[in-house]
């Protein structure tokens, strides 16, 4: 480096610093603590800012090292530790279950060589307990659900039309108990030659003691069944009508006979006979229901004859 000379001649100043060198105490002179003001050292822990501080470019071109991280980064813990811990616990539980299952299986297999013992009702079992009767018989306070007839087809009525099941041999579980024919409430049903398994209600004797309205079905204890007698058809009567299309048609109106039987509604048991009831076809009715394929209609059982039979049975 060359000596410093005045640009105008003369002697160099002995106290002047060489060109390009900072004076003593300046930021380019003797090294000072990082971040200290020029000429004044700073105590440890003082805030660092301004040129020359770490992270700021040096005013004299010297590179400044990056500042250290303010806090130490925590070490990442491996997530595999929790997974292995869970697997270890699961394996231990499975081992316990397998051990218990093997013990239970051992005792179950060990009993195969011994015959099964069934204790009778009221007798003590080998371990001192009393084994209840597996199929207790019904008591008076616990009646059979089938009305005592062991009939799997017994029904529970929800309305009056459900009582026609009695005519098919199926008792009504919630019918009124039968005590005697006198004063009993009676529902009557009849079938049809075209539909022998279909039963229609026949209401008669509206002012008689045996009569029950449809809403009073729970008071009925007797069912009368009017069954068509096969081969009892009489000579058909030709009746003229107009169908729904206003077309003229001819219907064969046929007389027949029915048999009347009385049954206990709650058990289905037959209580008595009402004899034969005629279904006369002496005249054409004002309205008629007929079979559109055969153009035939069967007369209904005579209401007067049914009423007389009910009077006799319930008197």
Each residue's pLDDT tens digit, 73-85 = 555 554 556 656 6
DSSP character at residue 256: E
Sign, CA torsion 25/31/37/42: negative
Do β-strands 296-298 and 248-254 pair in parallel, antiparallel, or remain unpaired? parallel
Three-state SS string across 10-49, please? Answer: CCCCCCCCCCCCCCCCCCCCCCCCCCCCCCCCCCCCCCCC
- Burial of 141: CB neighbours in 10 Å, binned 0-12, 13-18, 19+: exposed
- Per-residue pLDDT at 151: 77
- Per-residue pLDDT at 168: 95
Write down the residue that tokens 């204890």 correspond to: 221
Rounded to an integer, what distance in angstroms lies between the CA atom of residue 166 and that of residue 178? 14
Residues in the chain where the model's pLDDT stays below 50: 1-2, 7-9, 17, 19-21, 25-29, 36-39, 46, 48-49, 51-53, 55-56, 58, 71-72, 78, 102-143, 145, 147
Strands (E) across the chain are located at 185-192, 195-201, 220-228, 237-242, 248-254, 256-264, 270-279, 296-298
Question: Alpha helices, DSSP H only, in the chain?
Answer: 80-110, 303-314
Residue 155 tokens read as 């029904």
- Per-residue pLDDT at 212: 97
- Per-residue pLDDT at 106: 41
Rounded to an integer, what distance in angstroms lies between the CA atom of residue 177 and that of residue 212? 15
Q: Are 167 and 266 in contact (CB under 8 A)?
A: no
Rounded to an integer, what distance in angstroms lies between the CA atom of residue 103 and that of residue 100? 5
Sign, CA torsion 131/137/140/144: positive
């Amino acid at each position: 480096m060359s000596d410093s000379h005045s640009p105008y001649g003369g002697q160099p100043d002995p106290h002047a610093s060489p060109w390009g060198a900072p004076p003593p105490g300046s930021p380019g002179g003797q090294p000072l603590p990082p971040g200290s003001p020029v000429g004044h050292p700073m105590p440890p822990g003082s805030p660092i800012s301004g040129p020359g501080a770490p992270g700021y470019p040096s005013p004299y071109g010297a590179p400044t090292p990056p500042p250290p991280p303010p806090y130490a980064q925590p070490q990442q813990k491996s997530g595999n530790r929790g997974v292995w811990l869970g697997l270890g616990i699961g394996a231990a539980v499975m081992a316990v279950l397998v051990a218990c299952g093997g013990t239970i299986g051992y005792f179950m297999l060990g009993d195969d060589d011994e015959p099964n013992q069934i204790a009778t009702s009221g007798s003590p079992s080998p371990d001192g307990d009393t084994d209840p009767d597996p199929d207790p018989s019904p008591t008076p306070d616990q009646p059979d659900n089938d009305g005592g007839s062991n009939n799997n087809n017994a029904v529970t009525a929800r309305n009056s039309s459900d009582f026609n099941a009695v005519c098919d041999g199926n008792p009504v579980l919630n019918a009124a108990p039968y005590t005697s024919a006198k004063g009993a409430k009676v529902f009557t049903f009849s079938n049809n030659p075209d539909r022998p398994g279909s039963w229609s209600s026949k209401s008669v004797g509206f002012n008689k003691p045996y009569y029950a309205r449809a809403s009073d079905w729970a008071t009925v204890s007797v069912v009368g069944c009017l069954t068509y007698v096969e081969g009892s058809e009489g000579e058909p009567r030709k009746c003229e009508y107009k169908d729904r299309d206003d077309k003229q048609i001819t219907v064969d109106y046929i007389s027949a006979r029915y048999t009347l039987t009385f049954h206990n509604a709650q058990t289905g048991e037959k209580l008595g006979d009402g004899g034969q009831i005629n279904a006369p076809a002496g005249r054409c009715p004002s309205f008629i229901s007929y079979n559109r394929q055969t153009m035939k209609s069967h007369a209904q059982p005579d209401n007067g004859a049914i009423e007389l039979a009910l009077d006799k049975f319930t008197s």
